[in-house]
């Protein structure tokens, strides 16, 4: 049902946000398949990481700006801590304009730094956030923002 609301929101040009369980599971399956092919251990979902990721995607949407820095000056580690996650390592991938999860994952895997984050041996958990709004931002990029947060607890 949430996926239908998300799609309708995009089609009707209404702002949409998602921490949809189906999207989360699809992301986890894709990540773990990629990690398995590289000989890396699988990740598990963490709701605190997803909350941090969703909040950052919404923040980027509101600002029409792709950035690892939040409106309040926060960095990824500060946002993960604020979400109540005590971490020993944390990483973040952000993306804009990708129309679906597969495009976002493909884009990240073709970027060396993002790929390194996905394949990092020092992370064990993950969260995903997505936010969409009507129209385009500078550069004629759709207002579709993705945040992937990877971490390991202390």
For a pLDDT cut of 70, what percent of the chain falls above it?
Answer: 88
Q: Are strands 125-137 and 87-96 parallel, antiparallel or unpaired?
A: unpaired
Sign of the C-alpha dihedral computed for residues 104, 70, 128 and 110 taken in this order: positive
DSSP state of 99: S
The answer to whether 44 and 126 are in contact (CB under 8 A) is yes
**147 φ, ψ (degrees, to nearest 5):** -135, 130
39-61 tens-digit pLDDT: 999 999 999 999 999 999 999 99
- The closest alpha carbon to 18, from 50, 43, 63, belongs to 50
- Give the model's pLDDT for residue 47: 95
Rounded mean pLDDT, 15-37 = 85
Q: Where are the beta strands (DSSP E) in 49-140?
A: 87-96, 125-137
Rounded CA separation 24/18 (Å): 9
How many CA atoms within 13 Å lie on the side-chain side of 110? 7
pTM of the model: 0.87
Mean pLDDT of the chain: 89
Mean pLDDT of 22-41: 94
Question: In the structure, what pLDDT confidence band is assigned to residue 18 with cuts at 50, 70 and 90?
Answer: low
Residues forming beta bridges with residue 16, ordered by sequence position: 132
Report pLDDT for 13. 38
Q: What is the pLDDT of residues 61-98, one digit of tens each?
A: 999 999 999 999 999 999 999 999 999 999 999 999 99
Residue 11 has pLDDT above 60, yes or no: no
């Amino acid at each position: 049902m949430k996926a239908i609301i998300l799609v309708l929101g995009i089609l009707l040009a209404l702002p949409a946000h998602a921490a949809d369980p189906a999207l989360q599971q699809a992301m986890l399956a894709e990540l773990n398949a990629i990690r398995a092919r590289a000989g890396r251990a699988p990740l598990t979902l963490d709701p605190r990481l997803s909350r941090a990721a969703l909040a950052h995607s919404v923040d980027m949407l509101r600002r029409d700006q792709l950035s690892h820095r939040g409106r309040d000056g926060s960095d990824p580690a500060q946002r993960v801590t604020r979400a109540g996650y005590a971490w020993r390592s944390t990483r973040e991938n952000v993306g804009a304009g990708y129309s679906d999860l597969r495009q976002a994952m493909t884009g990240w895997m073709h970027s060396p730094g993002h790929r390194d984050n996905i394949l990092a041996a020092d992370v064990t958990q993950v969260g995903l956030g997505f936010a969409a709004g009507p129209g385009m931002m500078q550069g004629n990029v759709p207002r579709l923002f993705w945040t992937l947060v990877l971490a390991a607890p202390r």
